[in-house]
Structure 1
Amino acid sequence: MLTSPKTGAVLAWGDLLKSGNWIFIGSNAAVPNALIADLIAHSRGLHDIEVTHIQTLSDNVWAERRYSELFKVNALFIGGANVREAIAEGRADYTPCFLSEIPQLFREHLLPLDAALVMVSPPDEFGYCSLGVSVDVVSAAVRAARVVVAQVNPCMPRTCGHSFIHVDQIDAWAEKTEELPERPLPELDPVTEQIGQYVSLLIENGATLQLGVGRVSAAVLRYLGNHRDLGVHSEVISDGIIELMHSGVINNRKKTFHRGKVVTSFCIGTRAMYDFVDGNPHIEFYPAEHVNSPTRIARNDKMVSINGAIEVDLSGQVVSDSIGRKFYSGIGGQVDFIRGAALSRGGRPVIALPSTTRDGSRSRIVPTLAPGGGVVTSRGHVHYVVTEYGIASLHGKSIRERALELIRIAHPKFRRELLNEVRQFYWVPEYQEQAPTSVPELGPVEEKYFTFRGIRYTLRPLRPADERRLQEFFYTHNKETLMMRYNHHVTQMSREKSCSLVSVDQRRDLALCFTDRDGAAEVIQGVGRYYLNEADNNCEVAFVIKESRRGRGIATTLLREMEAIARRRGIARMFACVRRDNRPMLAVFENCGFQPASGSELDEVYLVLDLESADSS
């Protein structure tokens, strides 16, 4: 039964609505199901009511065919199977829009609201109810609607921040106790765990995070236990942050906007999550136009935005709201946060997704988008794409470099096909023949980290997209280095030659590099490689270190890592040919156990390391 909070008078739906009106239904875990059931039960004489909403954790009964004469749905985000079905059948509409701009649609009457049906907590002694777990666009709907109808639910938490609505703003209400829908943390599979581990590598201490509620976000949070001073500015939060807040990993001390507070616009999780936010002064809920504003997001230094995708093409275009022509979800806040993180000082926008569909039959890294697939995030927005096979860095990269980076993190069984497909668009030259391969001996993330003289270096495989970096590395060498490494005066490193040196079948041969950072750019400081001679089961090894980085232990570390990989691959011997006057390089080999062999020429020393000897282990 509806009553007026101002007069106590009993109200009928006919007093509040008429046919053809627009109504908004509350979002996420705060859908006022009791109000909707009551409206349906007492809807005699009402027709063609336009219903608009974002994601709703509900049975979405208003989208069922049997109520098609009463309701017409216009979803701003598709969150339920029956809403998705109604849109596919033409019984409902989907309006794509950024979450941050939905309040403007209400305010400017592009989506005029005659009524907002929302769920609130009981009022406090001052007459204020809380919008609780869902402030998002509900707050804007309450302000814009001609009539506000509230389901007062004692199970709704009272959240802090800008989440309150006074009883004077409510035109009709009904009290109905209803447990909030719960969404437990998802079970993680090995693929998702690997993605989470890779994404965690992109998160520095002191960063501020935006995450979702799916498997990838849960996996990322699992790998942040050793981080420090993290903050949260996210449109949604879930159970995964609770443990990290208790442990002090998330303390918001280093945030540069809303310092000391977790900032969100809604939460989805279990009852433990809803109890955790209830009256919690460390978590503040704000409307979507505040939380999702790219300029406000950018006020957080080191802002890391983590979002999913349905597919990504080899130029970096991201499809997130449709599977081909079939609309699946919505734009939501992805572009808001991707753009905000890109504008942030030290920010990192990340798209994370499994490399294949669930059955493994299709690659989600594709040469061209599926017909009808809608680009939510443009190729200009994307900085990082992550799959279980690694991190592709796209920011500032050419189309050719992007394609090679994305092929590298595609599933291995699709890499050759992707490389062949992309040639049709001339993004990759004809001499780029080798599809990217992996070096699993470096560990699950194929990277190791070392610090020499206070500088942090990454040891990783050389990759096809390193072609330009290797050219730059070559042109830093002086004449002496070139003579010592190549035994003659090399004056050019052509694009074709550089491509051949970075396009290595790492399953057979090996090419590793040490890199560090110059601002946001990655710079090669040392390269080591070996070439396998299968007939004799031995390999020839060589390395070169930038002149300014010598004498720090980089060469020795590089050589020992290559030796360890060779041992694991069952190679019998490593050998090297070094100019006799190259004393520093000879010293590195000798310190690593290489022995001069007979047959050395006058100007060269032939060095051998017997990997099968017990003395050399």
Structure 2
Amino acid sequence: MSITLPPSPDWSKLIKSGSRVFVGGNASVPYALVQHLIDHSAGFSDIEMVHMLTLGDTRWAKEEYRALFKANTFFIGGPVVRKAVDEGRADYTPVFLSEISGLFSDGTLSLDAAMVNVSPPDEFGYCSLGASVDICMSAVRQAKKVIAQINPQVPRTAGHSYIHVSEIHACIEADESLIEVETPPIDSVTERIGQYVSMLVEDGATLQFGIGKIPSATLKYLCNHKDLGIHSEMLTDAIIEPLSSGAITNKKKTFHPGKIVTSFGIGSRKLYDLIDANPHIEFYPSSYVNKPTNIAKNDNMIAINSALEVDLTGQVVADSLGYDFYSGIGGQVDFVSGASISKGGKPIIALPSTAKNETVSRITPCISEGAGVVTSRGNVHYVVTEYGIASLKGKSIRERALELIRVAHPKFRAKLLEDVRQNYWVPHYQAKYPTDIPELGAIQLKKLVIQGETFYMRPLNPADERRLQEFFYSHTKETLRLRYNYDPKQMSREKSCNLVSVDQSSDAALCIVRQEGSRITIHAVGRFYYNPSDNSCEAAFVTRETQQGKGMASRLLNQLIDVAKKRGIARMMAYVRADNKPMIAIFEQANFKRLHSSDPSDVELELNLESDE
């Protein structure tokens, strides 16, 4: 079957001065078509160029074309567009990615023309929008005129990516490469963020992620997971490794099972070759992929997004640096909203704790002047930095502040705690800021699988105040008597705060927790108190009754012994009631020796930490 292509553009019959023209974006900007318009622009002025993120040579936003074009972008990207916005020669329109198509269809931003990059037509006359379906399809459907760049380098993608050649009013043929974006190198900070985020991802989860180092690091640590799925507004090279390893199968997806669902791709030629004629990867318009109710149809939906700053209540700034607009809303709110209502879903904001060579904290007491909130404090469940995971869902303002201070850079924690007193109610007894245990290494969270259940071992911290109080009131009288040698009746918030506010550089306090969604429950606590007078420390433990006999105390003890040895502490002591035989056995299994005691009701034990034994 012979396919006849539309004629070459006669721009005077397609647009006029003052027209609003959509330009296809991301990695698939029709550069040759834009240049064709510029070459035939005599008599035109004030053409509004509407687009999403546009990579490469965004020449229409240059100063030299200010009389011809005015850019209006939904997402600021690249130095040329950003400079034009900063100088007032271009506009930034904030809008959820899922709602942009509605601006075209309801006439808010009616389109006179749409310029898009498409594959050559197949034998039936269908061209593919390739790596950029996103809002391009909506623009094609709503624009009065469609002008295409027929490009053999545009991949043919599955899904709803096709337009028929009869829908195109004019075209040019141009063999032009898609913009390639290589995966940036992963630094140590990003590596740790990726490790922490991966701990929140369970087998069978469905993922959304953006571009950059953090998604790349996260997906790297998911290669040993099983049956992951992808429902993401965009794809990058970061999916190639977990896809090749078999970690991504899409088998457990509850919406489009067996398929990767996306709307655009940005990456290297390797990614574009992967999506070309691949029936397992389907491209749909952003109005469909980013619709929160569609996102929520995926059980265990994990949305991984980033931010420029997060304040201590959990408000997320993602599109501006103070008064300077930097990027855009994009799909963050769409996916945060969708994941939050998904069964088992987790909206995650992941970001480095600092900026500008560790001179500025991205965890702030309040958002910067001029900055705007993209994602509200009510939407965010988790905030992840290289210092850990802050769990915010269901937390009070005080608890949120303490959680976020814990994952801030250590050198900013004291100042953040001081600042938060001026704005939010933090009681006078909340005197200490969170500290880490350096001997645990860069990752302070250790995953434990105990009798088929997943737990985490980590340092106790001030944000655990209420959790420790709940832990105390879960104990039986017998447990309290054996641990404290008497029957304490009360654990006030103030006393609980004192117990969790530990200077981990001298003493050490660890806990084993179970995390179910945003609910965190303490199941065991172990600590030692350092005695500088003789370079010794005293260890103590308590375990929730339902977990006793499962080895939690032994795990905590072994970890504390390792910390004490690394600190050069000479001896570890323990004082246990004589009738607490299970606890005595735990210490003796760790090579503690009984010492002579004048009180037969107590057993004194000692471990020589300087011994090679």
TM-score by length of 1: 0.97
Q: State the secondary structure of the residue aligned to 1:414.
A: helix
CA RMSD between the two structures: 1.4
Q: Distance in 1 between matches of 2:183 and 2:306?
A: 17
Within 5 Å, which residues of 2 pair with 1:7-406? Answer: 9=7, 11-406=9-404
Which deviates more, 437-446 or 392-401? 437-446
Contact persistence 2:538–2:574 (CA under 8 A): yes
1:258-314, Cα deviation, whole Å (9 max, x unpaired): 111111100011111111111011111000011101111111111111111100001
CA distance in 2 between partners of 1:23 and 1:454 (Å): 58
**Greater CA drift, 482-491 or 279-288:** 482-491
Deviation per residue, 1:171-205 (Å, 9 max, x gap) = 00010111111001111111111111111111111
- Return the offset for 1:427: 3.3
Q: Secondary structure at the match of 2:282?
A: strand
Cα distance in 1 for partners of 2:211, 2:449 equals: 35
Q: How many residues align?
A: 611
Matched ranges for 1:424-439 at <5 A: 424-439=422-437
Q: Which amino acid aligns with 1:80?
A: G
Distance 1:438 1:127, change over 3 A: same
Shift of 1:550: 1.3
Q: Which runs of 5+ in 2 are unaligned?
A: none
How far did 1:445 drift?
1.9
Deviation, 1:414, is 0.7
Query: 2: CA distance between counterparts of 1:10 and 1:478?
Result: 83
Q: Write the deviation string for residues 73-113 of structure 1: whole angstroms up to 9, x where unpaired.
A: 11111112121111111111111000000000000010110
Residue 516 of structure 1: aligned partner: 514
Between the aligned partners of 1:202 and 1:82, the Cα distance in structure 2 is: 38
SS at match of 1:331: coil
Rate the CA distance shift 1:44–1:16 in 2: closer, same or farther, 3 A. Answer: same
What is the alpha-carbon distance in structure 2 between the residues aligned to residue 324 and residue 354 of structure 1?
18
DSSP-derived class of the 1:421 partner: helix
AA aligned to 1:201 is: M
Residue 567 of structure 2 aligns with which residue?
569
Contact 1:48 1:71 in 2 (8 A): yes
Q: 1:261 to 1:98 in 2, by over 3 A?
A: same
Match of 1:449 in 2: 447
Give the superposition deviation at 1:582: 2.2
| Cα distance change, pair 10–231 in 1 and its aligned pair in 2 (3 A) | closer
Asked whether the 8 Å contact 1:120–1:129 carries over to 2, the reply is: yes
Structure 1 runs (4+) deviating above 6 angstroms are none
Superposed displacement of residue 461, structure 1 = 1.0
Shift of 1:11: 4.3
Q: Tell me the secondary structure at the aligned position of residue 376 of structure 1.
A: coil
Structure 1 residue 482: Cα displacement: 1.7
Deviates more, 1:216-225 or 1:161-170: 216-225
2:595 alignment counterpart? 597
Q: Distance in 2 between matches of 1:142 and 1:499?
A: 59
Q: Shift in Å at residue 8 of structure 1?
A: 5.6
Measure, in 1, the Cα distance between the counterparts of 2:5 and 2:127.
Answer: 18
Q: Is the 8 A contact 2:5 2:165 kept in 1?
A: no
The Cα of 1:240 is off from its aligned counterpart by 1.6
Matched residues in 2 for 1:277 and 1:8: separation? 27
2-structure distance, mates of 1:536, 1:387: 38
Shift in Å, 1:408: 0.8
Cα shift at 1:349: 0.8
Deviations 1:355-380 (A, max 9, x none): 11142110111111110111001000
Q: Matches of 1:14 and 1:518 in 2, distance apart? A: 62
Q: Is the 8 A contact 1:600 1:606 kept in 2?
A: no
Contact 1:107/1:144, CA 8 A, preserved across alignment? yes
For the Cα contact (< 8 Å) 1:238–1:268, is it kept in 2? yes
2:552 is equivalent to residue 540 of structure 1? no
- Does the residue aligned with 2:355 lie in a helix, a strand or coil? coil
Find the residue that maps to 1:493 and give its secondary structure: coil
Q: Separation in 1 of the partners of 2:382 and 2:16?
A: 50
The amino acid of 1:570's aligned partner reads G
State whether residues 223 and 246 of structure 2, in contact with CA within 8 Å, keep that contact through their aligned partners in structure 1.
no
Deviation readout 1:125-150 (Å, 9 max, x if unpaired): 10000000100000000000000000
TM-score (norm: length of structure 2): 0.97
| Distance change >3 Å, CA 453–CA 192, structure 1 → 2 | closer
In the TM superposition, residue 329 of structure 1 has moved relative to its aligned partner by 0.4
C-alpha displacement of 1:393: 0.8
Separation in 1 of the partners of 2:284 and 2:508? 52
C-alpha separation between the residues in 1 aligned to 2:243 and 2:583?
A: 50
2:9 touches 2:171 (CA, 8 Å); kept in 1? no
Matched, 1:608 2:613: no
CA 1:9 to 1:275, structure 2 compared with 1: closer, same or farther past 3 Å?
A: closer
- Does the Cα contact within 8 Å between 1:29 and 1:133 map onto a contact in 2? yes
Cα distance change of structure 1 residues 488 and 8 upon mapping to structure 2, 3 Å threshold: closer
Matching residue's letter, 1:470: L
Distance in 2 between residues matched to 1:487 and 1:67, nearest whole Å: 81
| Cα distance in 2 between the residues matched to 1:199 and 1:514 | 19
- Give the superposition deviation at 1:243: 2.5
Say whether the 8 Å CA contact 2:7–2:169 is kept in structure 1.
no
The equivalent of 1:587 in structure 2 is 585
Task: Confirm whether residue 459 of structure 1 aligns to residue 452 of structure 2.
Answer: no
* Contact 2:52 2:73 survives alignment (8 Å): yes
Which of 550, 554, 560 is equivalent to 1:552? 550
Secondary structure at the aligned position of 2:204 is classed as coil
CA contact (8 A) 1:403 1:427 kept: no
CA distance in structure 1 between the partners assigned to 2:53 and 2:144 by the alignment: 22
Give SS of 1:193's match. Answer: helix
CA–CA distance in 2 between the matches of 1:519 and 1:250?
Answer: 22
Cα distance in 2 between the residues matched to 1:286 and 1:592: 59
| AA at the equivalent of 2:266 | I
| Structure-2 change in CA distance of 1:55 and 1:574 (3 Å) | same
Q: Write out per-residue CA displacement over residues 423-445 of structure 1, whole angstroms, 9 at most, x where no aligned residue.
A: 11133222111111112333432
1:407 alignment counterpart:
405
The answer to whether the 8 A contact 2:223-2:241 is kept is: no
Given that 1:578 and 1:585 are in contact with CA atoms closer than 8 Å, whether structure 2 keeps it comes out as yes
Q: Please tell me the residue identity of whatever aligns with 2:19.
A: N
Classify 1:544/1:600 alpha carbon distance in 2 versus 1 (closer, same or farther; 3 Å).
farther
Counterpart amino acid of residue 439 in structure 1? I
Amino acid at match of 2:198: S
Cα deviation digits, residues 440-461 of structure 1 (max 9, x gap): 3334321223333333222111
Counterpart of 1:510, as a letter, is: A
Q: Cα distance, 1:519 vs. partner?
A: 6.2
SS in 2 for 1:375: coil
For the residues of structure 2 that align with 1:556 and 1:127, how far apart are their CA atoms?
69
**Cα 1:536/1:181, change in 2 over 3 Å:** same
AA aligned to 2:421 is R
Deviations 1:500-545 (A, max 9, x none): 1011011110111112245652211111111000121001111111
Moved more, 581-590 or 44-53: 581-590
